[in-house]
Structure 1
Amino acid sequence: MAVDPNNKHPSFSNLLEQGFIDKIRMPAAFVKEHKKMLAKTALLKTDEGLYWEAKIVKVASDYFVCEGDWPRFVLHHKLNVGDMLIFFLLDKSTFQVLRYSKKSLV
């Protein structure tokens, strides 16, 4: 399911840096604003029609997408440092994930 640009889905982006294979941090402002829509498990969807279950884990005051199928998601999409992911919150803990990479900008 592609994200409908006419709908105003809350979103955040994340530039992948070292350590993203294990986890990526969710922006604090996004979590604060949409905490009621987040559960301990997130469903990550892509335009390929595939989906992965990952965990949303709180460490100190930060929230991370990690564990579960997250490492398989990273490997399947051949993500690299410098790639950017955009997460659109479609409904309770379901995200449509779009990838922008250096290669796709060439």
Structure 2
Amino acid sequence: MVVKPTPSFFKLYLPEHNSNKLLIPPPFIKYFNGDIPKKVKLRNLQGKLWKVKLEVVQDGRVYIAKGWNEYVRNHSLVRGDFLVFKPLNKSDFHVKVFGIDGVIKEEPVDTGLATEAAADLGKDDVSQILQFSKIYKPYNKFYVDFPKAVIKACDQHGLPQEVTLREEKGCVVESVLRKITDRFRLGGQGFNELCKKTEVKIGDKLDFEVILREGRKIKEIRLKITHKSKKAN
């Protein structure tokens, strides 16, 4: 007997309709076979997951509800983003997010520093922590560019500005963040100095934590360096 695979479904992100909860297409509901789970997991391409709750309303429609707005914030969803949901089982979905340019969006990276950052800076000072990674290339001794998803989540006024760049092992410098056309560029003498002191080499992995305070303004940036030689061991 041939087992038919459960189909995927897609949704177009429109803030006025689905920033707080997301309607699951009614034709998809039959694949729950009458057993709609109360909670489901949403996984990104890296395997990181978000736990959300489903809400069934009187007319039988099913929404991804509690926890969805956090997913929206973490992925910096904007109008026109295109989400594809592929079920792994009834309560576990693999989600791909495509931008309005049709290209899959860069995803938040869990570097393991977020909890530490929030604790050190105090919950009252931290409104959001954005995460991304870069592989160190020759030009990165001068600067590093932020992913578009991170840029959209930050306040873009008041640049250029000096920001504190704090490496996890204790190296702290003042670096310059500039806006160049459609990108944020972190660089300057401080950034170059940190790269020298930490002996960053081509191929090393740089995990960044952008700490935002109220108003989506950047409070400081944290950095974790994984040297290529250590990753290979």
CA distance in 1, matches of 2:35, 2:81: 26
Q: What residue identity is the alignment partner of 1:82?
A: G
The equivalent residue for 1:44 is 42
Q: What residue identity is the alignment partner of 1:63?
A: V
Structure with the larger RCO, 1 or 2 (CA within 8 Å, 6+ apart)? 1
- Whether the 8 Å contact between 2:22 and 2:68 is mirrored in structure 1 is no
TM-score of the superposition, structure 1-length normalised? 0.80
Alignment of 1:1-106 (within 5 A): 8-17=5-14, 18-36=16-34, 38-61=36-59, 62-67=61-66, 69-105=67-103
- Whether the 8 Å contact between 1:15 and 1:82 is mirrored in structure 2 is yes
CA distance in 2, matches of 1:65, 1:36: 17
C-alpha spacing 1:52/1:80, structure 2 compared with 1 (3 Å): same
CA distance in 2, matches of 1:81, 1:60: 28
Identity of counterpart residues, as a percentage? Answer: 28
**Superposition misfits of 4+ residues, deviation over 6 angstroms:** none
Q: What residue identity is the alignment partner of 1:11?
A: S
Instruction: Give the C-alpha shift of residue 36 in structure 1.
Output: 4.7
CA distance in 2, matches of 1:10, 1:104: 21
Q: What whole-Å deviation, never above 9, does each CA across 1:39-72 have from its counterpart, x for those lacking one?
A: 01010000122101111111122110111x2221
C-alpha spacing 1:37/1:85, structure 2 compared with 1 (3 Å): farther
Question: Over aligned residues, Cα RMSD in angstroms?
Answer: 1.9
CA distance in 1, matches of 2:93, 2:68: 13
Q: 2:62 aligns to what SS in structure 1?
A: strand
Where does structure 2 lack aligned partners over 5 or more consecutive residues? Answer: 104-233
Q: Based on CA coordinates, which of the two structures has the bigger radius of gyration?
A: 2
CA distance in 2, matches of 1:57, 1:72: 16
C-alpha spacing 1:45/1:36, structure 2 compared with 1 (3 Å): farther
- Whether the 8 Å contact between 1:40 and 1:56 is mirrored in structure 2 is yes
Q: 2:71 aligns to what SS in structure 1?
A: helix
Count residues in correspondence: 98
CA distance in 2, matches of 1:33, 1:9: 7
Instruction: Give the C-alpha shift of residue 37 in structure 1.
Output: 6.1
The equivalent residue for 1:5 is none
Q: 2:50 aligns to what SS in structure 1?
A: strand
- Whether the 8 Å contact between 1:37 and 1:91 is mirrored in structure 2 is no
